[in-house]
Amino acid sequence: MKFVDEVKITVKAGNGGSGSASFRREKYVAYGGPDGGDGGFGGHVILQGDQGLNTLVDFRHKRRFDAQNGESGKGRQMYGKGGDDLIIKVPTGTEVYDLETDLKLGDITTHGQQLVIAEGGKGGLGNMHFKSSVNRAPRQFTQGEQGQLREIKLELKVLADVGLLGFPNAGKSTFVNAISKARPKIADYPFTTLYPALGVVPIDAETSFVVADIPGIIEGAAEGAGLGIQFLKHLQRTGLLLHMIELPAYEGMSSPVEQFHQLSEELVKFSDQLQEKTRWLVFTKADVTTPDEARALAKDYAAEMGWDGPVYLISSINKSGLQALIKDIANYLSSEPEDWH
């Protein structure tokens, strides 16, 4: 399925029904008087979170959504039926913006959460409301109000506890494959990950956390280079970033230290919020050399980077270092307040 994380749609709430100008007419009842009922309310347009959805691709095929109009009032003081609300299901993690004002209307973060984005019009008044001592047979009634018409932008930011950050081929997808049941594409060439992938990592029968893998970031990403820039926003909701760097420096590639500083600069350019998130340094592909040499390299690189935070050394192929990292992630997430989103 094609991954779509931003769309623009038009929504129109239902119009209110018109009031009725009617008079009671029954045999043997003289001077029945006005009995026109009110019009019904127009239906609202409502967004509803659905955790079973993970993309906005359905909105590529339909861009206009209209709720039902209210019915007009009738005689005998009969009110018109209200229009049905239109409920549109969106993935959890969807932010909603009004394109005309650029205001954020809301954020759908939980399954079943609802957000009214266009309100239906009120129904008009029937002529029974205009009766008075000096106007015993009013013919006045009012039209129903128009429902709101809005241009809306939907922007999906995936909900995950841990975000993976790194250059192409840093071993992010292999890591997700090793610790969860997710099966992202893995290959020995760059940009095998073309859209965000989520993996659920079980800790015990009742505890788990979600990892988000995004396309690799390259130098100049904040200016639009590569694929990662359009997906960096998906890391803004995470509680923890794992900055993953290949331990070996292959011929023709920049050194791990250079990669670290390049990617750190891209984070600053993209978002201060992202730069300030808790970040752990994870050296991958430790299996390409001996354990002692791998530890020495990781220590030297971290010192050269000026890094004073947590450092991990893992191999997703032989599983070394994975359990310690998973345990520390679980402990960190359980100790932090759940207000990252």
* pLDDT tens per residue across span 19-28: 988 887 777 6
Token pair listed for 222: 């904040």
pLDDT band for position 187 (cuts 50, 70, 90): very low
- Flag whether 315 is marked binding: yes
- Flag whether 308 is marked binding: no
Residue type at 247 in one-letter notation: L
The per-residue pLDDT for 171 is 82
* Segment 75-124, tens digit of pLDDT: 888 898 999 999 999 988 888 999 999 899 998 988 999 999 999 999 99
The per-residue pLDDT for 234 is 64
In percent, the amount of the chain with pLDDT more than 90 equals: 32
CA distance 162 to 200: 10
Phi, psi for residue 331 in degrees, rounded to 5: -65, -40
- Does residue 284 contact residue 315 with C-beta atoms inside 8 Å? yes
Whether the domain at 6-156 and the domain at 162-335 fall into the same CATH topology: no
* Range with lowest mean pLDDT among 101-105, 118-122, 229-233, 294-298: 229-233
- Flag whether 254 is marked binding: no
pLDDT band for position 336 (cuts 50, 70, 90): low
Across the strands, what pairs with 108? 94
- Flag whether 216 is marked binding: yes
Q: How many CB atoms lie within 10 A of CB 75?
A: 19
The per-residue pLDDT for 190 is 41
The per-residue pLDDT for 178 is 85
- Flag whether 255 is marked binding: no
Across the strands, what pairs with 198? 212
- Flag whether 170 is marked binding: yes
- Flag whether 303 is marked binding: no
Token pair listed for 88: 């549109």
| 6-to-3, 156, 217, 238 alpha-carbon distances in Å | 10, 6, 20, 19
- Flag whether 285 is marked binding: yes
More confident residue, 30 or 223: 30
Residue type at 213 in one-letter notation: D
State yes or no: pLDDT of 237 exceeds 70.
yes
Which residues touch 171 (CB under 8 Å, ≥6 apart)? 244, 246, 284, 285, 316
State yes or no: pLDDT of 281 exceeds 90.
yes
Residue type at 305 in one-letter notation: M
- Flag whether 157 is marked binding: no
Q: Is 229 helix (H, G, I), strand (E, B) or coil?
A: helix
- CA atoms within a 13 Å half-sphere pointing along the CA-CB vector of 249: 12
State yes or no: pLDDT of 252 exceeds 60.
no
Q: Where are the domains of the chain?
A: 6-156, 162-335
- Flag whether 233 is marked binding: no
CA distance 239 to 277: 7
- Flag whether 316 is marked binding: yes
CA distance 66 to 185: 39
- Flag whether 166 is marked binding: yes
State yes or no: pLDDT of 317 exceeds 50.
yes
Q: What's the rounded mean pLDDT across residues 195-224?
A: 66
CA distance 118 to 110: 20
- Flag whether 287 is marked binding: yes
CATH class of segment(s) 6-156:
mainly beta
- Flag whether 205 is marked binding: no
pLDDT band for position 314 (cuts 50, 70, 90): very high
The per-residue pLDDT for 230 is 56
Residue type at 57 in one-letter notation: V
Which residues touch 337 (CB under 8 Å, ≥6 apart)? none
- Matching residue, tokens 């500083």: 261
The per-residue pLDDT for 75 is 84
Backbone torsion region of residue 60, taken as left when φ is above 0, otherwise alpha when ψ lies between -120 and 50, otherwise beta: alpha
- Flag whether 256 is marked binding: no
Helices 256-270 and 291-305 meet at what angle, rounded to 10? Answer: 50
- Flag whether 329 is marked binding: no
CA distance 266 to 217: 8
Residue type at 105 in one-letter notation: L
Mean pLDDT comparison of 3-17, 176-190, 237-251, highest-scoring range: 3-17
- Flag whether 207 is marked binding: no
CATH class of segment(s) 162-335:
alpha beta
The per-residue pLDDT for 77 is 84
Q: What is the DSSP letter of 26?
A: B
